[in-house]
Amino acid sequence: MNLMLIQDFLKRAGLIGMVGPVLIVLILAMMVLPLPPMLLDILFTFNIAVSIMVLLVSMNTNKPLDFAIFPTVLLITTLLRLSLNVASTRVVLLEGHTGPDAAGKVIESFGHFLVGGNYAVGLVVFAILVVINFVVITKGAGRIAEVGARFTLDAMPGKQMAIDADLNAGLIGEDVARKRRAEIGQEADFYGAMDGASKFVRGDAVAGIIILFINIIGGLVVGVMQHDLSFEVAAKNYTLLTIGDGLVAQIPALVISTAAGLVVSRVASEENIGQQLIQQLFKQPQVLMLTAVIIGSLGMIPGMPHFAFLLLAGAMAWLAWHLSQATTRAAAREEAQAAAAVATTAVIPEAAEASWDDVAQVDVLGMEVGYRLISLVDKAQDGDLLRRIKGIRKKFTQDIGFLPPPVHIRDNLDLRPNAYRITLKGVEVGSGEAYPNQLLAINPGSVTGELAGMHTRDPAFGLPAVWIETGLRDHAQMMGYTVVDPGTVVATHLSQLLSTRAAELLGRQEVQQLLDHLAKIAPKLVEDLVPKTLPLGAVQKVLQNLLDEGMHIRDMRTIVETLAENAARTQDPYQLTGMVRVALGPAIVQQFYPSAQELQVIGMDKELEYILMQAMQSSQNGIGIEPGLADTVLREARAAAEQQEQMGLPTVMLVPTQLRDLLARFLKRAVPNIRVISHDEVPDFKTIRVTAMVGGRA
């Protein structure tokens, strides 16, 4: 509580940002200002306490980013140890002639108690600690950080694309996607910082060795020449003080290095190190029993310490038996629950007479899965496809403007075990395969190598892909693949089909619900339109025309107002759609050009425009185009669309208002990537630049 009060006071006073700079200044001041032995004792004890805290925090984190400040902590603790070394060296050289307690009780205790007052033993122990810290722990942790930083940077594009895929599929929101992107950047920064911070510890070990020799040699010189001590007394006093000083610094350094190794060698999970050790190392009774047999056999060999070996073997055998019994009891409970479920479902109800209730309606949206994909939709087996589908429907509603029908999922034994199919009003509109225990690595076109696995194509967009084992995720992301799980594959396919077939999903029931929703805020507007002026079917057809050309219908107020204003003049859905499009012009342009002031579009040659106008006027139904002219338009439109795509520009074609509807319907199937807009749909504040031409050159 006191610490929280201090933090609150510092924050209110605006001083919390000064804590770091003040701490660094105080540490650096210790290198210059003389410190009394008692203050040295307190600071050495504080250094040991900090190192233990860092070790415990590193063991209780679930992923490296939970301790993102660790590289900075590593620098500060290293600087603290070096400052204490400088301060203690000053005291040792100035007061070492007075006895072994000249530099404080902490250094004296480490010099006497830990090495028994024998400076030869102390030198050996100090050398061993330095070798362990420098050669083993620090070098290994630095190598792991270096490799982790490189792999993390290589895998960033694949991880970013996986986040974009989840966002587009409606599985996550924009806030979650932004948070995940930030975590990926932080992870790369963390491993890069750890790679550099490990050099601090390595330099600290080297500095410790140099300081040791400086203290011993300098102490001998000062003791013999300045204080008239005998060589033996000077060697004993200054060497013990130096070794105590070195051990006081190297033990915390060893603890900090161990913490660094634990942090960078962790595999991110929902458990800390202690939980992972228990769950992964001591949860296999067969391994424990085999180890107990081997240890017990070694203990039976003559000359071996029988008590230690047999005691440990007995303890491990008891633990193995206990775990085996617990596993058996858990399996028995599961069998009992399964038997009870079978008994409950085995009761055959009495046959009833047929009725109208037996007439099954065709599902508007359905999904059928093979028996191996049942785990994706079964919550008891950690299947999350149902949750993903809820997210897809929510995102569709927010983006398109109406609530799609629910997706009814059922198993189908006629399908292949790993197959699924998506139906619209009982008709298959999409199908694919997914493998629950594997991952799909999608090639976005910029991968650096081939992966071993089953080659296929992404069912949503047709990109080349490979089904791989789960252990190859990081390797695939490092090579530039976008790696997704089976649930995401199915969900993304469903999301793509919903977007492309939005017009077919908008029935009269959905249109009525849209009008009822609008009537809550504008009741008179809806009342004047339907059914007084325009029938519900005509409104539905206008909305379907908008959806069919990739438009959303979120702005229902503008749509209904435009229909109410023009319904007295015409009841033709296509003419009404054109009028609605003019009213929605700014939104249409913004959809294709989100923030551009200049619209770079595909234009049409004036002569070709005139010919098409004449063809419309001479045609009986107003939509006929002579075959030769049609081929010319299609060929020119494809070439212009390819030119726009090569320049990285939207494939938007700008035509006169009279031709927009004709060309939009004509090009829809032949050149589906072209969007046709009219001059009347472009807002006055936008400028136009023709970058490609149909029927001529820009």
Query: Does residue 255 sit in the same domain as residue 265?
Result: yes
Query: Does residue 253 sit in the same domain as residue 304?
Result: no
Q: Is residue 240 part of a domain?
A: yes
Q: Is residue 345 part of a domain?
A: no
Helix-, strand-, coil-residue percentages of the chain, each rounded to 5: 65, 10, 25
Query: Does residue 634 sit in the same domain as residue 498?
Result: no
Q: Specify the CATH number for the domain of residue 677.
A: 3.40.50.12790
Q: Binning pLDDT at 50, 70 and 90, where does residue 681 land?
A: very high
Higher pLDDT, 471 or 303: 471
- Backbone φ and ψ for 600, nearest 5 degrees, come out as -95, 105
For the beta carbon of residue 358, count every other beta carbon within 10 angstroms. 8
Chain-centre distance for alpha carbon 657: 46
Chain-centre distance for alpha carbon 531: 50
Query: Does residue 43 sit in the same domain as residue 192?
Result: yes
Query: Does residue 261 sit in the same domain as residue 408?
Result: no
Q: Is residue 539 part of a domain?
A: yes
Domain boundary among 449, 471, 502: 502
pLDDT surpassing 80 at residue 107: no
pLDDT surpassing 60 at residue 597: yes
Q: Do the beta carbons of residue 190 and residue 68 sit within 8 Å?
A: yes
Q: Is residue 299 part of a domain?
A: yes
Q: Is residue 346 part of a domain?
A: no
Query: Does residue 678 sit in the same domain as residue 570?
Result: no
Q: Is residue 455 part of a domain?
A: yes
Mean pLDDT of the chain: 80
Q: Quick one: pLDDT at residue 338?
A: 62
For the beta carbon of residue 62, count every other beta carbon within 10 angstroms. 16
Range name among 102-111, 341-350, 373-382, 514-523 with the lowest pLDDT average: 341-350
For residue 433, give the nearest of 421, 444, 443, 451 by alpha carbon: 421
Query: Does residue 390 sit in the same domain as residue 447?
Result: yes
* pTM exceeds cut of 0.85: no
Domain boundary among 314, 330, 346: 330
- Backbone φ and ψ for 311, nearest 5 degrees, come out as -65, -45
pLDDT digits (tens, 9 = 90+) for 68-87: 787 888 888 888 888 887 88
Pairing of strands 652-655, 675-678: parallel
C-alpha 212/C-alpha 241 separation (Å) is: 10
Domain boundary among 470, 502, 534: 502
C-alpha 48/C-alpha 255 separation (Å) is: 9
C-alpha 218/C-alpha 245 separation (Å) is: 14
Q: Do the beta carbons of residue 266 and residue 258 sit within 8 Å?
A: no
Q: Quick one: pLDDT at residue 30?
A: 76
pLDDT surpassing 60 at residue 213: yes
| Domain containing residue 14 | 1-29
Query: Does residue 19 sit in the same domain as residue 61?
Result: no
Query: Does residue 475 sit in the same domain as residue 575?
Result: no
Q: Binning pLDDT at 50, 70 and 90, where does residue 156 land?
A: confident
Average pLDDT over residues 589-600: 88
Cα distances from 269 to residues 61, 160, 455, 655, in angstroms, run 9, 20, 30, 56
| Paired tokens of 389 | 């589908």
Report the domain count for the chain.
6
Measured torsion, CA atoms of residues 511, 513, 518, 523, in degrees rounded to the nearest 10? 100
Q: Quick one: pLDDT at residue 150?
A: 72
Q: Specify the CATH number for the domain of residue 493.
A: 3.40.30.60
Q: Quick one: pLDDT at residue 698?
A: 40
Query: Does residue 110 sit in the same domain as residue 51?
Result: yes
Chain-centre distance for alpha carbon 409: 28
Q: Is residue 352 part of a domain?
A: no
pLDDT surpassing 90 at residue 210: no
Q: Binning pLDDT at 50, 70 and 90, where does residue 113 land?
A: low
Q: Do the beta carbons of residue 637 and residue 694 sit within 8 Å?
A: yes
Higher pLDDT, 673 or 115: 673
Query: Does residue 569 sit in the same domain as residue 425?
Result: no
Query: Does residue 92 sit in the same domain as residue 144?
Result: yes
Helices 119-131 and 174-221: crossing angle in degrees, nearest 10, is: 150
pLDDT surpassing 90 at residue 441: yes
Q: Specify the CATH number for the domain of residue 535.
A: 1.10.8.540
C-alpha 22/C-alpha 44 separation (Å) is: 19
Q: Is residue 207 part of a domain?
A: yes
